[in-house]
Amino acid sequence: MPKHTLEVDSIMYSTGGRLLLSDVYLKCQTGEVVGLLGRNGSGKTTLLKIIFGTKTTDNKFIQIDGNVCNTPYTHKGLIGYLPQEGFLPHALSISTIIRIFLDDKQKQQELLAHESVQQHLNKKTAELSTGERRYIELLLLLQLDAEFLLLDEPFSGIASLQVERIQELIEANRLTKGFLVTDHDYKAVLEISNQLLLLVDGACRHIKHRDELMQWGYVPAGSFS
């Protein structure tokens, strides 16, 4: 299967007189899970929004398969984004959301019949737990057939069993997609990533060994002993 490549270069972003992102470079291919770590406020969400194309910036260079793409979100089938705050409308039932979100009738039927979705079809989003909601959001995004998925805190506020289910869903789809995943549950990110990035003081550090996370002060000394 031919690989697809998302390449992001020279990203600069300033806010409030502060250089939040400075010359960020990253590359993600289909078949890869790239983990993006960083402290609160380090710019992870900002970076994902810039890559998706919904946040404008001082400078950026985004290519997909070698073609410059300034607003990836406008190209169907290229990229999907799971925002930190979720995207399911609170007042609608899950079955209604699935029918609105997916044009393809076959995909609609498949998802409506999915064992993890069936029990929630008549519930509104607000009636779901965070873990249930996150799982359904990821299932919906996967139906878009996008080559790349940007996941902002897919594990946040979720019990370990649900974290594992979301990890499994990512693993099951990584052959055909590239994932860029950020979360404060760094252990969950480490478990599924084949490439690790750490945002520190605006720079994107490419982490070769997890011990570097201690050297950069992201995790306390002794975290991996």
Ligand X SMILES: Nc1ncnc2c1ncn2[C@@H]1O[C@H](COP(=O)(O)OP(=O)(O)OP(=O)(O)O)[C@@H](O)[C@H]1O
Q: Given the rule CB under 6 A, which residues bind ligand X?
A: 15-16, 20, 38, 40-46
The distance of closest approach from Cβ of residue 82 to ligand X in the complex, given in angstroms and rounded to an integer, is 13
The distance of closest approach from Cβ of residue 43 to ligand X in the complex, given in angstroms and rounded to an integer, is 4
| Between 31 and 83, CB nearer to ligand X | 83
| Between 49 and 120, CB nearer to ligand X | 49
Cα–chain center distance at 20: 20
| Between 43 and 154, CB nearer to ligand X | 43
The distance of closest approach from Cβ of residue 20 to ligand X in the complex, given in angstroms and rounded to an integer, is 5
92 DSSP assignment: S
CA 211/CA 213 separation, integer angstroms: 5
CA 105/CA 176 separation, integer angstroms: 22
Helices (H) and strands (E) in the chain, counts: 8, 10
> Strand locations in 77-219, DSSP E?
79-82, 148-152, 178-182, 195-200, 203-207
The distance of closest approach from Cβ of residue 167 to ligand X in the complex, given in angstroms and rounded to an integer, is 20
| Between 101 and 179, CB nearer to ligand X | 179
CA 221/CA 225 separation, integer angstroms: 9
The distance of closest approach from Cβ of residue 124 to ligand X in the complex, given in angstroms and rounded to an integer, is 26
Phi/psi of residue 155, nearest 5 degrees: -105, 0
| Between 135 and 218, CB nearer to ligand X | 218
